[in-house]
Amino acid sequence: MYSVRTILAIAIGLAAILFIILGLSECIFNSAYVPPDTSTYIEASNMLFADFKPHPLRPVGYALLLGLPNLFMDNVGDRQYITFGILLNLFCWLASIVILYKIFLNWFKTKVAFWLTLFWVFSLGTVAQNFLALTDSVAVFMLMLLSLYLVKYQGSGKMKYMIISVSLLNLLVLIKPGFLYLAILSTLTLVVFLIKKQKFHSGVWLLLMSVTLIGVQYVMMYNSYEKVKVSFIDKVTWYRYLGAESYAKVSHLEYLEVRETRTAELAGRSYKQIDELSSDDMKHQLRENPTAVLSSMAENLFSNSIAGSYGILAVQNILPPDKTFYLAASRLLFTLSRLQNMAFVLLYLVSLILVLRKIRRVDPSTLFLQLLASYVILTSTVSFRQGDRFHLVIYPIILIIFLYLVKHKSWVRVWLK
């Protein structure tokens, strides 16, 4: 009864129910429902498979995965990409569920692990995100693999598991380039540790391979755009989101007005010029308007922490008024997704306090996961109006950290009997 098959059956049933009651059959190919980011991922796949050229904003990792239909079909169109992207998401989501269940089995009885896994399965924002051709479900899968090997390291102390975890984080950069700086920090820390302890494990080849693949991305970007970068998404995001928001505050202008002006400024420029323009703007604002930048980041942090699912909310802008059942369902589910986002943020804060209280006694695996969760939450402050998308990739990690920290407490052991 409490097997992983039962969990997967429940998950598939939940996804099917959500698909039906939100009327997603009428939405998933609708341009008003498909996020703008999806079109850039499709562009990236077309560029990679047609010309072996990298997209300026999207690294080759997800472009390669999303573009796999090109190996079996000619003239792959948007519908085929979106369909395959959704199927890929569902596969990664189900695989992530299995991994999370296995992690919990290290600490809890089968029945308890079953119910704790279902707690994440029923996070509605995560389920809804599967029906958008975006990178989040793939990222969750890779983060779950990373977490599994960290837990293995936690239990055995074998360095090969830490090496695998850091290597997976490096590979994640090719899916979500926002993880680059954390990956660099983690890789350097691991290398220094290995050198100091003279623990050169055979698994180092995996670390070298992951770093090499990032190097290939750098070379491809330099050859195409004359700039050594993984992606230009950081500079474009700054200039059109956080930079525009903080500038609007200081100038007493409307954000949308500033964003439109800045978007027009970017048109016609090369990405090398965009990089320089954005860098100069960032330096200027951090030097002249640091308070405005920090206050904008704080506001974004708060709004991202109380936001609901874009995948659920967008339905309300597409379905006609006579679809009263679907619209009512979407409003209810959207509210629930907001509450779930806030609940996971609260769990994160509790976990952070627990870690900081005994920082010197916390094992490396837990510190790594806590740092990862904090990194995602803090870097999400550069953007906004994305719903719960920023936070949902770390929902299961937050759950893992919290449960590991409290699993030995008496009240938890009584409650989890």
Q: What is the per-residue pLDDT for 90?
A: 98
Q: What is the per-residue pLDDT for 414?
A: 65
Count CA within 13 A, CB hemisphere, residue 265: 17
Q: Which of 305, 323, 350 is the last residue of a domain?
A: 305
Are 329 and 290 within 8 A, CB to CB?
A: no
Tokens of 313: 């909310």
CA angle 229, 232, 234 (to 5 degrees): 110
Given a cut of 80, whether residue 408 has pLDDT beyond it is no
Q: What is the mean pLDDT of residues 364-393?
A: 90
Is there a single domain that holds both residue 201 and residue 252? no
Is there a single domain that holds both residue 301 and residue 322? no
- Give per-residue pLDDT as tens, 295-309: 999 998 999 999 999
Q: What is the per-residue pLDDT for 318?
A: 85
Q: Which of 2-6, 322-326, 334-338 has the highest mean pLDDT?
A: 334-338
Tokens of 72: 């079996």
Residue 199's pLDDT band (cuts 50, 70, 90): low
d(CA 71, CA 284): 47
Given a cut of 80, whether residue 373 has pLDDT beyond it is yes
Q: What is the distance, to the nearest Å, from the Cα of residue 113 to the centroid of all Cα atoms in its chain?
A: 24
Better pLDDT: 83 or 409: 83
Neighbours of 369 (CB within 10 A): 25
Is there a single domain that holds both residue 324 and residue 175? yes
3-state secondary structure string across the chain: CCCHHHHHHHHHHHHHHHHHHCCHHHCCCCCCCCCHHHHHHHHHHHHHHHHCCCCCCCCHHHHHHHCHHHHCCCCCCHHHHHHHHHHHHHHHHHHHHHHHHHHHHCCCCHHHHHHHHHHHHCCHHHHHHCCCCCCHHHHHHHHHHHHHHHHHHHHHCCHHHHHHHHHHHHHHCCCCHHHHHHHHHHHHHHHHHHHHHCCCCCCHHHHHHHHHHHHHHHHHHHHHHCCCCCCCHHHHHHHHHHHHHHHHHHHCCCHHHHHHHHHHHHCCCCHHHHHHHHHHHHHHHHHHCHHHHHHHHHHHHHHHHCCCCHHHHHHHHCCCCCCHHHHHHHHHHHHHHHHHHHHHHHHHHHHHHHHHHCHHHCCHHHHHHHHHHHHHHHHHHHCCCCCCHHHHCCHHHHHHHHHHHHCCCHHHHHHCC
Given a cut of 80, whether residue 141 has pLDDT beyond it is yes
Q: What is the per-residue pLDDT for 209?
A: 96
Residue 415's pLDDT band (cuts 50, 70, 90): low
Cβ neighbors of 382 (< 8 A, separation 6 or more) are 234, 237, 238, 241, 242, 297, 300
Are 285 and 243 within 8 A, CB to CB?
A: yes
Q: What is the mean pLDDT of residues 254-265?
A: 91
Q: What is the per-residue pLDDT for 406?
A: 86
Is there a single domain that holds both residue 241 and residue 367? no
Given a cut of 70, whether residue 413 has pLDDT beyond it is no
Is there a single domain that holds both residue 158 and residue 224? yes
Number of domain units in the chain: 2
Q: What is the chain's alpha carbon radius of gyration, rounded to the nearest angstrom? A: 22
Q: Which of 305, 325, 360 is the last residue of a domain?
A: 305
Q: Please tell me the pTM assigned to this model.
A: 0.94
Is there a single domain that holds both residue 248 and residue 375? no
Are 402 and 351 within 8 A, CB to CB?
A: yes
Residue 317's pLDDT band (cuts 50, 70, 90): confident
Are 32 and 105 within 8 A, CB to CB?
A: no
d(CA 13, CA 158): 39
Given a cut of 70, whether residue 52 has pLDDT beyond it is yes
Is there a single domain that holds both residue 269 and residue 297? yes
Is there a single domain that holds both residue 204 and residue 262? no
Q: Which of 262, 287, 305 is the last residue of a domain?
A: 305
Percentage of the chain modeled with pLDDT above 70: 97
Cβ neighbors of 256 (< 8 A, separation 6 or more) are none
Tokens of 76: 């792959």
Cβ neighbors of 332 (< 8 A, separation 6 or more) are none
- Picking from 222, 314, 403, the residue whose alpha carbon sits closest to that of residue 28 is 314
Residue type, 406: V
Residue 203's pLDDT band (cuts 50, 70, 90): confident
Q: What is the mean pLDDT of residues 129-142?
A: 97
Mean pLDDT, the chain, rounded, equals 92
Given a cut of 80, whether residue 315 has pLDDT beyond it is yes
Q: Could you tell me the residue range of the domain that residue 96 belongs to? A: 4-231+306-415
Which of 224-238, 337-351, 377-391 has the lowest average pLDDT? 377-391
Is there a single domain that holds both residue 327 and residue 341? yes
Q: What is the mean pLDDT of residues 35-57?
A: 95
Is there a single domain that holds both residue 28 and residue 176? yes
Percentage of the chain modeled with pLDDT above 90: 74
- CB-count exposure of residue 381 (10 Å: 0-12, 13-18, 19+): buried
- Give per-residue pLDDT as tens, 88-107: 999 999 999 999 999 999 99
Residue type, 305: S
Is there a single domain that holds both residue 247 and residue 313? no
Distances (CA, A) of 152 to 24, 106, 190, 204: 39, 9, 17, 17
Q: What is the mean pLDDT of residues 107-117?
A: 93
Is there a single domain that holds both residue 200 and residue 289? no
